[in-house]
Structure 1
Amino acid sequence: MILDKLKAYGAIAAALVLAVLLAAQSVRLHTEQLAHEKLKTQVAQDATQRADAALKNETKVGLKEFGHAAATQENSDAFTTSQPVRDAIARADAARHVRLLDGAEKRAATYRAMAEAGAAACRDLADRHAALDRHVVEGVNVVSALRRDLVRRDAEVALLRRQIDIERALME
């Protein structure tokens, strides 16, 4: 009988110990679950913050790229729209060259006629005048070509300068 009582008390004590251990484990599990939920919340908040930062950065970069594209287009359009002016200058210079060449040929014919009427010295002088006129006309043509090249180069330099400014603005 005593043995039965001891067994009963032992079983009760074991049950109480197990109940206390179960309660402690339950409290520990509950604490871990709370910590896990807190960690999940923090991870979600961090992901949201990173996504917001990435969106802001993407928007900022997008605006810069849009500005860059617009400035590049404006620069290109300015160069393209100035082309007719450069073409008109080149045509005017070419027409002037033709006009001067025609005048030089007429003067050369006049010089030759004068030379044939005069002596051999006059003929030499007329040839020199004709050569001088040809040199003047060719000089005007060279100046015209150089001016055309200079105008185009100036336009290209301006284009490149504006493009550099646009590219620098993109890098800022």
Structure 2
Amino acid sequence: MVDPRLKCILASLALAFSFGVGWVVNGWRADAHIARTESTQDKRDASQAQQAQEAIENKADAVVTHAAAQQENTHDYTQEMAQLQAGRAADAARIAGLQHDISSAATRNTQLASDAAACRDLADQHQRLAALAAEGAGLVGDLGGLVQKRDAQVELLRGQIGADRKLLEKFVRY
């Protein structure tokens, strides 16, 4: 027969051993659960990082597109301004020449009006004045062209505004 105290000690040891084994197994289960949870969280973090990177790349593309459009509009505007400035300088020179010619013609008309020969000269002067008037009409036509250039300038600025709006719309979406 086995001593009851020994039985009790063996039973206690078996119980303690079972408890210890259960404790270790539950620890393993908890570690596995934690590892699965961390893996899931890592996948979520990686997905969010990828989405953030795509958003940054989209914004960068939008900024590059806007910069190119802005550079093109700036170049077009600069070219148009140079053409307008050249046209203004040429118009100013023609106007000064016309004013000088008109002044000279007026002075000559006054001097020639007193004699009969002045009548012939006056007829010639009239022809020249008619030519000057025709040139003046051409100048008015040129000024109409200047207005068209200004309208083109306005259209270029509208294009710049459109490019800016597209950029702002892309930023608002993100």
Is the TM-score greater than 0.5?
yes
Match of 1:58 in 2: 56
CA distance in 2, matches of 1:148, 1:90: 11
Q: What are the ranges of 5 or more consecutive residues in structure 1 without an aligned counterpart?
A: 119-135
Residue 168 of structure 1 aligns with an amino acid whose one-letter code is R
Q: Deviations over 1:20-53 (max 9, x none)?
A: 1112211211110001111111121112111111
Partner of 1:107, secondary structure, is helix
Maintained 8 Å contact 1:79/1:155: no
2:72 aligned to which of 74, 85, 103: 74
| Contact kept in structure 2, 1:68 and 1:167, CA below 8 Å | yes
1:147, distance to aligned residue in structure 2 (A): 5.9
Of 135, 138, 157 in structure 2, the residue corresponding to residue 160 of structure 1 is 157
Paired positions, count: 149
By relative contact order (CA 8 Å, sep 6+), the higher-ranking structure is 2
Q: Percent identity?
A: 24
* 1:102 matched residue in structure 2: 100
TM-score w.r.t. length of structure 2: 0.73
Would the aligned equivalents of 1:86 and 1:152 in 2 still touch at CA under 8 Å? yes
Which residue number in structure 1 is paired with residue 24 of structure 2? 26
Q: Output the aligned Cα RMSD.
A: 2.9
Alpha-carbon distance in structure 2 between the residues aligned to 1:89 and 1:18: 105
Q: Quick one: which of 34, 43, 46 aligns to 1:45?
A: 43
For residues 149-171 of structure 1, the C-alpha deviation after alignment (integer angstroms, 9 at most, x for no partner) is 74564244223201121112222
Deviations 1:98-140 (A, max 9, x none): 111111111220233256x38xxxxxxxxxxxxxxxxx9xx99
